[in-house]
Amino acid sequence: MSDHSARSTARSTALFDQASAVTPGGVNSPVRAFRAVGGVPRFMASGDGCHITDVDGNTYLDLVCSWGPMLLGHAHPQVTAAVQAAVSRGTSYGTPTEAEVLLGEEIVARTPVDKVRLVSSGTEATMSALRLARGFTGRAKIIKFAGCYHGHVDALLAQAGSGVITLGIPGTPGVTEATTADTIVLPYNDQPAVTEAFAQYGDQIAAVITEASPGNMGVVPPQDNFNAFLAQTCRAHGALFISDEVMTGFRITRSGWYGVDGVEPDLMTFGKVMGGGFPAAAFGGRAEIMAHLAPEGSVYQAGTLSGNPVATTAGLTTLRLATDEVYAKLDETSATIQRMVATALDKEGVPHVIQAAGNLFSVFFVNSSDSSRPIRDFAGANAQVLPRFAAFFHAMLDAGVYLPPSAFEAWFVSAAIDDDALAELESALAPAAAAAAAVQN
């Protein structure tokens, strides 16, 4: 593995020490701590287009994009101008504003939902959708899938992906058995397991929740008709089908993963891109279900900063700029990078599997015996050679490319990536592939 010393990290190191004195682990979201890859997390100072610059003055090609929201790149001039104008009018009122109405209309126009409720985070969106599903059906049990992450909602942290698996946490202290007693965890892409669960608990199941196309155990797309099967099974048993598009929504296509498979859920959750880099999320669904939400109905949900005027302005401007041409550019860029990564790893004989869902993709560093086998579920994603990824990650970081600091995350591209940026990436890949090849199983 690299000694991580190719670039100065003095200021990041000092800030990490300073942060660790006042914040658990020195970070405000666990995966940022670099625990899975080692080394000092980089503290960023600015972003411009497809690059970010840390406090030590090191610039990186950004393939994290704030975990998805920066679809257009950093500091996009039109988004920045709209946000500055919104801030100049005031940052929060605690009242309805026009921007939240327009953002709601934009989401409804792009998806099958009839109505939406704006919130401030993806976790809040999924938590609220579950409460609404239980209130609507009068049932308690929820089905989720191992490796799918739906935010840090207590009932959904059982066998979750993302930071939980990255840190090797088997369960989460503070989440009681009573909280998860009504959560049924099944293997992803396993139709017989779903059928069996409904046969046993059908009249008790309020909802099935799944990532529309999972990206929190790495990108593991649904097998053909899996989402349609889930929707049909839920309808047959009077349960609701909840599609979590916090990650895929408005990133995969203008309509998210719904624009790929066309399966209409009963409820959907959104986040990331719809906030344009600000804390904003939403959940929505059929009008008859959403009518159960307060103040129209009796299922309570509220938020002081929900529909914040600055966040909704950023999100609305981002969505309006996310044209078909932008999505075509994202798809082309993603496909090019996937080919470049595969070529570099193949040249060094590094076993790997690359899987994509639209412009989202992941590189799985697998054992040689698994290199021709697609990753279909959490067990497959969990069988990676993690030290090999860590070596690859740090070599890329030293060469000026910022990847997700976890083997269980998606890579994100932005429309700001150009030919010069792709050349930067290509020059970084050769030494990174060699570093990965040097790690034994």
The pLDDT of residue 158 is 63
**In the predicted model, is pLDDT for residue 4 greater than 90?**
no
Catalytic residue among 60, 144, 149, 398: 149
Contacts of 363 (CB under 8 A, 6+ apart): 341, 345, 352, 353, 354, 389, 411
**In the predicted model, is pLDDT for residue 1 greater than 70?**
no
Q: Is-same-fold flag (9-63+323-438; 77-321)?
A: no
SS3 call for 281:
strand
The pLDDT of residue 208 is 98
Active site residue 327: no
304: pLDDT confidence band, cut at 50, 70 and 90? very high
178: pLDDT confidence band, cut at 50, 70 and 90? confident
Active site residue 266: no
Dist. CA 427–CA 414, nearest whole Å: 19
- State the average pLDDT over residues 294-311: 96
The pLDDT of residue 80 is 98
What is the torsional sign of CA 390, 352, 356, 245? negative
**In the predicted model, is pLDDT for residue 196 greater than 70?**
yes
**In the predicted model, is pLDDT for residue 168 greater than 50?**
no
- State the average pLDDT over residues 59-75: 98
Active site residue 272: yes
Contacts of 325 (CB under 8 A, 6+ apart): none
| pLDDT per residue as tens digits for the range 363-393 | 999 998 777 789 999 999 999 999 999 999 9
2: pLDDT confidence band, cut at 50, 70 and 90? very low
Catalytic residue among 141, 144, 272, 329: 272
- 77-321 to CATH, choices 3.30.450.20, 3.30.750.200, 3.40.640.10, 3.40.50.10320: 3.40.640.10
**pTM of the entire predicted model:** 0.93
Residue 389 Rama label (left phi>0; alpha psi -120 to 50; beta): alpha
Catalytic residue among 244, 266, 377, 398: 244
Kindly report whether the peptide bond that precedes residue 295 is cis, defined as omega within 30 degrees of 0.
Answer: yes
**How many other CB atoms are found less than 10 A from the CB of residue 360?**
26
| pLDDT per residue as tens digits for the range 394-431 | 999 999 999 999 999 999 999 999 999 999 999 999 99
Strands (E) across 112-239 are located at: 115-119, 141-145, 183-186, 205-211
Q: Where are the domains of the chain?
A: 9-63+323-438, 77-321
| pLDDT per residue as tens digits for the range 317-334 | 999 999 999 999 999 999
Would you state the CATH architecture of domain 9-63+323-438?
A: Alpha-Beta Complex (3.90)
- State the average pLDDT over residues 140-148: 94
